[in-house]
Amino acid sequence: MGRRQDRTISESTELKTDGKRVCLLTGAGGRLGSAFCSMFASKYDIIAVYRSQPPAIATQEQTLVDPLRPSTNLPENASPVFAIKADFADDRQHTRVVELALAHSGRIDLLANVAAWSVWAPLMESDQLLDSMRDQFQINCIAPTKLACAVARLFWQDRMHDNIASNRNIVNLSSIAGINVYPDGGQSVYGATKAALNHLTYHMASEFWSIGVRVNAIAPNSFPGIVPLAGVARSIVQLDEASVTGKIRVIDRHEDYYL
């Protein structure tokens, strides 16, 4: 059995401070992605990737308007995100998205793999669940890995010292369902995809450190029902600002810990 290695970046590492950090965010049209964009558009230069529904905030293609005062310049429009429509069921989209992100911002400091897909049902009773297996693994496990590799090949590779100095890293969205089994919850396939993503996160952390890039994951319980949505969004920023790599951060109702 292989062992993962937990490494940290030296506390003396100097970080760049010239302008906003660039965050490539998937799942921007979903609940967590939209919250992240709303909360942190002024902190990051966000490249917001969505499949069908763009985030309900200012982008390069839309601005927010007060219907009672349509000519008023709202402060929410001061920090628009750069929105990209892409369906990661198509493997050609990973390279396209990274190329567009680099053409717009020139670099990528944080890759936040937040896009997710789930179908919950009993294994022995649902053909829909069995038919969804390929798509769930594609979006929850394969796409984050391929997108990370595309960023590495197109930008991070051969920039080890700059990557370390800029504290570049990946945060994957896992789930506590990838760690625990919840009987009668119908989360078998979804939990399996997240368990696979957890293990890939450990391997990615080991391999990506060769180019000075950290890799971690967050594994929240259900949000916003059990854990606050805003807290999950903030945990992405906290991992971006941290120095750890090769960690799964579990976020539960009354506890928050690393695996």
Q: What is the 3-state secondary structure (H, E, C) of 152-179?
A: HHHHHCCCHHHHHHCCCEEEEECCHHHC
Predicted local confidence at residue 73, as pLDDT = 86
Please tell me whether residue 88 adopts helix, strand or coil conformation: coil
- In a domain, residue 5? The reply is no
Rounded-to-integer distance, Cα 123 and Cα 14, Å: 50
The CATH number of the domain holding residue 44 is: 3.40.50.720
Q: How many beta carbons lie within 10 A of that of residue 38, not counting itself?
A: 15
Give residues with Cβ within 8 angstroms of 16, minimum separation 6.
Answer: 165, 166
Least Cα distance to 84 among 70, 64, 98 occurs for: 98
Q: What is the pLDDT of residue 64?
A: 87
Is 245 within 8 Å of 8 (Cβ atoms)? yes
Residue 107 in domain: yes
Domain count, the chain: 1
Q: Is residue 248 part of a domain?
A: yes
83, 48 Cβ separation under 8 angstroms: yes
- The predicted pLDDT at position 85 comes to 98
Kindly state whether residue 35 falls inside one of the protein's structural domains.
Answer: yes
Domain region containing 136: 18-62+77-258
pLDDT of residue 129: 96
For residue 241, the model assigns a pLDDT of 98
- Going by C-beta distance under 8 Å and a sequence separation of 6 or more, which residues neighbour residue 86? 49, 50, 51, 93, 96, 97
**Residue 201 is assigned to a structural domain of this protein:** yes
Q: Is 10 domain-assigned?
A: no
252, 222 Cβ separation under 8 angstroms: no
pTM: 0.91
Which pLDDT score, from 0 to 100, does residue 72 have? 87
Q: What is the pLDDT of residue 2?
A: 40
Regions of the chain short of the pLDDT cut 50: 1-18
DSSP labels for 36-64? Answer: HHHHHTTTEEEEEEESSS--SS-BSS---
Identify whether 70 is part of a domain: no
